[in-house]
């Protein structure tokens, strides 16, 4: 049995966006009837639904589905989690890595749910500052750990492709709650995400 790839799209949304993308092609001076772009409006409509699927996801349900009672009370760090999002100002991509840590308070979360949680918020029109805050608060409010920390490092195509066109710039945002507001705990986390332990 071979690999089967499956995506589900709203027919209504696809048709509406197809018309809009067709108008964009005309607006930029492209011949929308040219062979190479005949199917571009439909492809773009489906791509946009995929890239913004976070609007249909529930972060709290994802966390609660994989919460387990555990007496472990030391730091849990998941670092270098790839993320891709769309800037809400220009609808251009920004991409990078997220580093997440928490200190359990009676419950742990399945490790795969942390990257999944990041996708819930990254797959929306975003700004990096709010993305950081959304991830932080979802973990803090649902898992209720002793502390949680989130750091995101990202490159923004709206700065690289247009505007100031600075190719090597990156943006770092961070958020800390609970025990991570203490400098020694925060420093331990920052040291762990900056070191190569493998």
Q: Return the active site residues.
A: 87-90, 128, 156, 158
Give the C-alpha separation, 120 to 118, whole Å. 5
What φ, ψ does residue 114 adopt, rounded to 5°?
-70, -50
Residue 51: closest CA among 60, 59, 43:
43
Strand partners, 97: 82, 153
Contact 32, 22 (CB under 8 A): yes
SS3 113: helix
| Residue in the structure block whose two tokens are 């040291």 | 191
Could you tell me the two tokens for 141? Answer: 């409010």
Contact 49, 83 (CB under 8 A): no
C-alpha of 16 from chain center: 25
The count of other CB atoms within 10 Å of the CB of residue 113 is 20
């Amino acid at each position: 049995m071979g690999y089967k790839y499956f995506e589900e799209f709203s027919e209504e949304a696809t048709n509406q966006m197809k018309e809009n993308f067709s108008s964009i092609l005309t607006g930029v001076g492209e011949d929308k009837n040219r062979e190479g772009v005949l199917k571009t409006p439909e492809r773009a409509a489906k791509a946009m639904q995929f890239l913004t699927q976070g609007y249909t996801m529930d972060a709290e349900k994802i966390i609660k589905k994989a919460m387990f009672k555990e007496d472990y009370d030391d730091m849990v760090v998941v670092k270098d989690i790839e993320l891709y999002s769309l800037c809400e100002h220009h609808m251009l991509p920004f991409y990078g890595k997220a580093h997440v840590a928490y200190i359990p308070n009676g419950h742990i979360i399945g490790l795969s749910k942390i990257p999944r949680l990041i996708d819930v918020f990254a797959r929306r029109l975003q700004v990096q500052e709010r993305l950081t805050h959304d991830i932080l608060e979802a973990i803090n409010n649902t898992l209720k750990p002793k502390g949680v920390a989130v750091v995101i490092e990202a490159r923004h195509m709206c700065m690289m492709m247009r505007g100031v066109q600075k190719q090597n710039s990156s943006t770092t945002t961070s958020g800390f709650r609970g025990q991570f507001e203490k400098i020694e705990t925060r420093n331990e986390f920052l040291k762990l995400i900056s070191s190569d332990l493998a």
